[in-house]
Amino acid sequence: MTRLGFLERIPLWQRTIPKYPLHFKGDPQLRVYLPLFWMKMVQPANKFPKNIVLFKVHPQMSKLDIAQYLEKIYETPVANVRTEIREQQIMAPWWNRSKKQWVGRKVVTRIPEKYAYVTLAKDEFVYPTPKKTEKSSDSERYKKYMKIREGHYKELNEALSVPAWFRR
């Protein structure tokens, strides 16, 4: 684990973004090459106009941050940004001692998620269709895995100079 190992255990959507340091006149210009925010394009369940795109965004992003993110990084002109915070409820069954069985469900946690509806200035946006890949059967995947595994064992045995009678 690294020196900042505690950060690796915090999920990305729960990490707080540090405030930018103050900039005084005469100081060197701060350059941020990779933003600390993240955005994920989500395909909406219901129909939208062709110039509106739905994104799942970092909870600390403001409307201005979202517009600048798209304009500066992807060079996409943005007309309007609307944001919405939805709470996702995680339900779990609970144990009834008298009936001695799992019954009902109750809310365990509520996770806030922020969504942004971005209206593009000019373009009509078409959501990309995922590539269809051929599904291989489990036996084919298992055979490929075993070939790779055998190759790794041969390499390991040769590298460690393990005697032949001890090899797998």
Indicate if the alpha-carbon torsion angle 134, 139, 142, 147 is positive or negative: negative
* Cα(140)–Cα(144) distance, integer angstroms: 6
Nearest CA to 13 out of 39, 32, 33 is that of 39
**Quick one: pLDDT at residue 168?**
61
Taking residues 104-121, report their average pLDDT: 84
**Quick one: pLDDT at residue 98?**
79
* Bridge partners, 107 (sequence order): 91
Q: What is the pTM of this model?
A: 0.58
Residues 6+ apart with CB under 8 A from 72: none
Greater confidence (5 vs 31) lies with 31
* Cα(32)–Cα(141) distance, integer angstroms: 43
**Quick one: pLDDT at residue 42?**
92
Q: What is the mean pLDDT of the chain?
A: 80
Nearest CA to 157 out of 148, 146, 166 is that of 166
Per residue in 123-144, pLDDT (tens digit) is: 788 888 877 777 667 788 888 8
Highest mean pLDDT among 45-49, 99-103, 150-154: 45-49
* Cα(91)–Cα(69) distance, integer angstroms: 34
> In a 10 Å sphere around its CB, with 0-12 CB exposed, 13-18 middle and 19+ buried, how is residue 118 labelled?
buried
